[in-house]
Structure 1
Amino acid sequence: MAMTAKQPYHKGDLPALLLKAAEEELSENGLERFSLRAAAKRANVSHAAPAHHFKDMTGLLSALGADGYRRLIAAQEHRQAQAAPDRVSQFVALGLGYVDFAEAHPALFQLMFASEKPDRSHPDFAEASLAAFAKLQDRVNALYPDETDQARRTTMLMTSWSVVHGLAELIISGRAAAPMQLELRTPEERDAMIHAILMRVHEVKG
């Protein structure tokens, strides 16, 4: 890939520029071939620039993963803003946003959830991932406002997460395309099927 001449940038923009370049490198060439040098080359900056801002590859990938979690939440909130305000609609919107994000950013999704490359104890990564988890927890709890058994709440939380995450994984891997006939469905039909799948594990009606 031919690189363009280095462009001037504002010093404060460099971390964002490097994160964008890192995601593009990850998407195009995969985690196994990922390097700080490759990200810097793609961003048209010196090979030392990523280390200056993120220390090492782990730091850069941890920051990228944290950014991914924040964008996951944004995708979910976008869906929620379009949905009805009732508890079932808001829960389903959260799941739809989860799948939307996975489909739009499969390599980043895998980095966030399946890779050991990021440092999950990094403050930024931990804060962002816990915020995404708390959002799911709040929505599941809202489905069962009268449930006082914490073990049951936890069971339904983990069941919900397992279903939506597993569905997202199956869709981005291509394994769900044939069973769900995704190519033949309109966006509305796709959403209705995901709605039905998400609600299948719950006793509430919706």
Structure 2
Amino acid sequence: MTTSNNRRGYHHGDLRRAVITAALDAIRSDGPASLSLRDLARRAGVSHAAPAHHFKDRAGLLTAIAGEGFDLLAATLGKATDLRDAGVRYVRFAVDHPAHFQVMFQPDLHHPDDPELRRARGRAGDRLREAVTAVPAGGRGEDARLAGVAAWSLAHGFATLLLTRNLEGPMAGRDPEDVFRALAGLLFRTDDGPAVRDGGP
């Protein structure tokens, strides 16, 4: 992929995708702070000017990655069957897309007011709020907005601790999704009865 013929063979969209893919690989291995457009051009096998042509600068590239991440998150949350399943899907998204996850919630890395990013972030937020408001008031309290913050905090905090390997001791080899289901059951109820227990909706 490093020859000039290969560079000329890229279509416009393919080149943009190649740069994003190279960036995601770099973030997974070294984190977003070390990201360099020149290094990405080398990794993707394209001219050093190609990343700047598509994204203008490093923050523009990270904005595109954050927006893509929120779109992926919205899609996975949209398939949730209930609030606990939404939380499990949130954690699974973080594990499956760790590079996106590292960038999405760090506004100092990208352009947080970018219109496309704001729309994608809004869609993901809407999916989480829908899961929270579907829980009867007896199971989440009367303030749905605060319940949404609690649900997000639980899922995001658990995912972050998991990705940074801070749960290896407490997890004791247990499946992360099973552990999260148990935690969610301690916090939210799906009806006016006892909190949801681990093992089924």
Q: TM-score range by the shorter chain?
A: 0.7 to 0.9
Give the conservation status (yes or no) of the 8 Å contact 1:75–1:100: no
Separation (CA, whole Å) in 2 of partners of 1:96 and 1:146: 22
* Equivalent residue runs for 1:20-169 within 5 Å: 20-77=21-78, 80=80, 89-114=81-106, 116-144=108-136, 152-169=143-160
1:192, CA displacement in angstroms?
Answer: 2.9
Match of 1:85 in 2: none
What is the TM-score when the length of structure 2 is the normalising length? Answer: 0.83
In the other structure, the counterpart of 2:165 is 174
Residue 20 of structure 2 corresponds to 19
User: Is this contact kept in 2: 1:77–1:97, CA < 8 A?
Assistant: no
- Cα distance between partner residues in 2 of 1:146 and 1:170: 29
Structure 2: distance between partners of 1:176 and 1:34: 27
- The 1:114–1:122 alpha-carbon spacing in structure 2 relative to 1, beyond 3 Å, is same
User: Which residue is equivalent to 2:199?
Assistant: none
Question: Residues 60 and 110 of structure 2 are in contact (CA less than 8 Å); yes or no, is this contact kept in structure 1?
Answer: yes
Give unmatched runs, 5+ long, in structure 2: 197-201
Q: Which moved more, 1:164-173 or 1:4-13?
A: 4-13
Q: Distance in 2 between matches of 1:123 and 1:98?
A: 23
Q: Distance in 2 between matches of 1:31 and 1:193?
A: 29
Aligned to 1:200: 186
What secondary structure sits across from 2:88 in the alignment? helix
Q: Distance in 1 between matches of 2:56 and 2:10?
A: 20
* Structure 1 CA distance for aligned equivalents of residues 155 and 88 of structure 2: 8
Is the Cα–Cα contact under 8 Å of residues 76 and 96 in structure 1 kept in the other structure? Answer: no
Count the aligned residue pairs.
188
Cα deviation 1:149-199 (Å, max 9, x = unaligned): 9x7111111111111111111111111121022x3x3x4xx4332112112
Deviations 1:86-124 (A, max 9, x none): xxx522221111111212232321211135111111111
CA distance in 1, matches of 2:40, 2:107: 18
**What is the alpha-carbon root mean square deviation over aligned residues?**
2.3
State how far apart, in whole Å, the 1-side matches of 2:50 and 2:39 are: 11
Contact persistence 2:77–2:128 (CA under 8 A): no
What is the one-letter code of the residue matched to 1:5? Answer: T
> Would the aligned equivalents of 1:62 and 1:122 in 2 still touch at CA under 8 Å?
yes
State the identity %: 34
Q: Distance in 1 between matches of 2:166 and 2:97?
A: 17
